Structure 1
Amino acid sequence: MNKTLIPDLRKQHGWTQEHLATKCNLSVRTIQRIEAGDDTSLETLRLIANAFNVKIGDLFESISDNAKGSEIKTMNDKQTLQIKKRREEGKLIRNTIQMIFILAMMLFGYLLSHSNYTSVLGIIWVFLWPLGFYAIKLIKIYIIEPKMDKKYPLTQNIQ
């Protein structure tokens, strides 16, 4: 029998079985069966692991079924690789977007210094900085993260 840590993790988070089921988009009965030690699919385990922000292997204290243990290890390795790739790609995308924004602001500043409307454009320029960084954050949340979730499905909700 595989010894799961799901009840302990759930209680550490202060969650009920109903809350965990809702977070994972699973039935309460599924959560109850898993906590009782019944076998489940790797996809279900992935959903639960992502809800807790842990790797799939971290859901178990011990795994007595060698075949299941091998599956979980393979999934854990894939998840670790996807996390690494997502972080690297995410950093590259964020740095690129920030660099484009900074270069655009520098160009705007240069044009501002050669304009007849320096005072008005200067005020606009000052307010564009925080707005730009807010826009970058929105781009990350609504465009980049959903694409990364699709590209690296084993990393959804993992920080």
Structure 2
Amino acid sequence: MSEMRIGELRRLRGWTQERLAEASGLAVRTVQRMESGKDASLDSLSSVAAALEVTVRDLFVESEPASLDPGVRGLDERAEREQVQRESAQRGWQFLYSGVGIVVTLGTVALIGTGAWVGSAIFVIPAYWAGGAVLARFVMATVVHPALDRRYPLSRRTADH
């Protein structure tokens, strides 16, 4: 396989081996072995690439990209597919929150308009949007993201989700 540039990428971030190990979920010794050029599993390479926010391919010094091991090329392609699927699932949850909010808003306005609810029920609308936003973030952090992490292990959370 080609020469790895994990140490170079780590130093560019100003990270120690210990910091990279923590960010990637690997043992420090594993990071040390990888930086010394020892063989690494595709899972370990993927974890380091995700921590450094690069593709697995970027972990290698290459003069000719076609010479990369087919497993590494395949891992990059799989990671890209998983990232697209993860982002689609995240957007689905966001659309669900918005859709329920629209129904709550229109339903509340309709009930107030027909006289079925008193005018103070209008506070249901901001309560949903404000309280729902906090609840939605909690559910995303504690339920949805962990489920997506398990389902799409090669993907990573994006900053806006």
Q: Structure 1 length as normaliser, TM-score?
A: 0.83
Q: State the aligned residue count.
A: 157
Q: Which residue of 2 aligns with 1:140?
A: 140
Judged with a 3 Å threshold, the aligned counterparts in structure 2 of structure 1 residues 100 and 127 are, in CA distance, closer, same or farther, namely closer
Mark the runs of 5 or more structure 2 residues left unpaired by the alignment: none
Whether 1:40 and 2:37 are equivalent positions in the alignment is: no
Q: Name the amino acid aligned to 2:42.
A: L
Judged with a 3 Å threshold, the aligned counterparts in structure 2 of structure 1 residues 26 and 108 are, in CA distance, closer, same or farther, namely same
CA contact (8 A) 2:34 2:40 kept: yes
1:120-148, Cα deviation, whole Å (9 max, x unpaired)? x2344333321122222222222221221
| Larger RCO (alpha carbons 8 Å, 6+ apart) | 1
Note the 1:67-86 alignment, pairs <5 A. 69-86=69-86
Identity %: 25
Between stretches 100-109 and 33-42, larger displacement belongs to 100-109
Q: Which residue of 1 aligns with 2:59?
A: 59
Q: Name the amino acid aligned to 1:86.
A: R
CA contact (8 A) 1:53 1:158 kept: no
Judged with a 3 Å threshold, the aligned counterparts in structure 2 of structure 1 residues 87 and 123 are, in CA distance, closer, same or farther, namely closer
Mark the runs of 5 or more structure 1 residues left unpaired by the alignment: none
Q: Which residue of 2 aligns with 1:131?
A: 131
Q: 1:17 Cα deviation (Å)?
A: 0.4
Partner secondary structure for residue 126 of structure 2? helix
Note the 1:1-159 alignment, pairs <5 A. 2-62=2-62, 69-113=69-113, 114-115=115-116, 117-119=118-120, 121-157=121-157
Q: 1:96 Cα deviation (Å)?
A: 2.4
Q: Distance in 2 between matches of 1:128 and 1:97?
A: 10
1:33-52, Cα deviation, whole Å (9 max, x unpaired)? 11111111001111111112
Q: 1:97 Cα deviation (Å)?
A: 2.6
Judged with a 3 Å threshold, the aligned counterparts in structure 2 of structure 1 residues 86 and 41 are, in CA distance, closer, same or farther, namely same
Q: CA RMSD in A?
A: 2.5
CA contact (8 A) 1:7 1:35 kept: yes
CA contact (8 A) 1:3 1:60 kept: yes
The ranges of structure 1 where at least 4 consecutive aligned residues each deviate by more than 4 angstroms after the TM superposition are none
